[in-house]
Structure 1
């Protein structure tokens, strides 16, 4: 882990050189959020995870107590390649109609049948690595090794679409995701869901949060 200054009131924890950067990032985020809830990081305003980094933001003008952050991180083994909470987290089920316009092309590119693509996507437990791009848009990575490795190896599409419908379920560049609202996008579209990823009127607007576990289910298999 590298500690990088981000102004007087923030610090960026960089795990890109760690053996398991995504795991270390999630563990760090979880530990620091717990420390905030326990009151041991009184100056910290927010902890924001990304793909391989965690931003620790203090209240403006108060400065960052770096020693308290280091103390909190002593409680976690960042070298262990599993998350302590993953096994105990109840997966969020997202039912999907696998009728995406890219499904056949994804199958052909991955040298799989359409059924194998759907199976790889639904048989994998996905973990929310971070939230970005749009409110409620969770970047999902496979839990440890999985049959979805071939899918996540797909790069982004060469040309993005100006409009991707809300609820579109997609894969690209090592991740899977659900588009919470209509927006441009360059991912491969496997299907769609009616689940709301973001609700402005809810006390907790985002369905997905970093560290949450997701399981996609095939709607047709349930009928």
Structure 2
């Protein structure tokens, strides 16, 4: 763990893995809820960093955090958000070929994994979800699409994401959902918050029982590695 002051009132914590990042983010939220963390305006996780913004004494907090033992994030920590999916994406055949399976197997493999929102990204409501085994990581498309429909469920590198609105994008599209990822009239506006768990359910099917991920790893994404960012 490395702590770097940013400007006058912020602190950037660098971690060695996505799992450590998720664990530290959860621990900081717990400490804040218990009034055991100095006042902070925002706690923002990324792939391997956590930013604390609005601190009175960032250097003092850095000294307190560095060397602190952060407990691993329990697989069952965080609320569970269920997303019904139609596995009808335009890149379904491409992903099936990359995985070496039949097209119909993609839905079962993808929906069997346990996901967690690692951090938010390029558009309001977009969450980068970890949890799919490393053997199922896929590259971005060589040529991005000029427009990806809202609700598209897509893969890139270590991540699964859902496009909250129509936008250009280069991720591999495997399905779609009617879930509203971003609604300014809702509190909170974003459906996904970092740390939340996500279960994908085949539309019209039954929610899978709790268990291990598609690759046998736990819900904390212990088989995950750093993947493609962007959109």
TM over 0.5: yes
Contact 1:27 1:76 in 2 (8 A): no
Task: Point out the structure with the larger helix share.
Answer: 1
Structure 2 counterpart of 1:101, from 90, 102, 111 = 90
* Structure 1 counterpart of 2:52: 56
User: Partners of 1:70 and 1:119 in 2: how far apart?
Assistant: 46
User: Partners of 1:94 and 1:215 in 2: how far apart?
Assistant: 6
Aligned positions, number = 206
**Is the counterpart of residue 66 in structure 1 residue 59 in structure 2?**
yes
TM-score, normalised on structure 1?
Answer: 0.84
User: Partners of 2:155 and 2:57 in 1: how far apart?
Assistant: 37
* Structure 1 counterpart of 2:103: 114
Contact 2:153 2:162 in 1 (8 A): yes
What stretches of structure 1 move > 6 A for 4+ residues in a row? 72-75
Structure 2 counterpart of 1:193, from 177, 186, 202 = 177
- 5+ long unaligned stretches in structure 1: none
What is the alpha-carbon root mean square deviation over aligned residues? 2.1
* Structure 2 counterpart of 1:149: 134
- 5+ long unaligned stretches in structure 2: 207-231
Q: Is the partner of 2:117 in helix, strand or coil? A: strand
**Greater relative contact order (Cα 8 A, min sep 6): structure 1 or 2?**
2
Q: Is the partner of 2:24 in helix, strand or coil? A: helix
TM-score, normalised on structure 2?
Answer: 0.81
State the shift of 1:172 in Å. 0.6
Query: CA 1:3–1:68 in 2, change beyond 3 Å: closer, same or farther?
Result: closer
**Is the counterpart of residue 83 in structure 1 residue 76 in structure 2?**
no
User: Partners of 2:28 and 2:129 in 1: how far apart?
Assistant: 21
Deviation digits for residues 130-171 of structure 1 (CA, Å, limit 9, x no counterpart)? 0111111010000xxx6x4333x2111111111100000011
Query: CA 1:196–1:88 in 2, change beyond 3 Å: closer, same or farther?
Result: same
Q: Is the partner of 2:188 in helix, strand or coil? A: coil
Contact 1:164 1:185 in 2 (8 A): yes
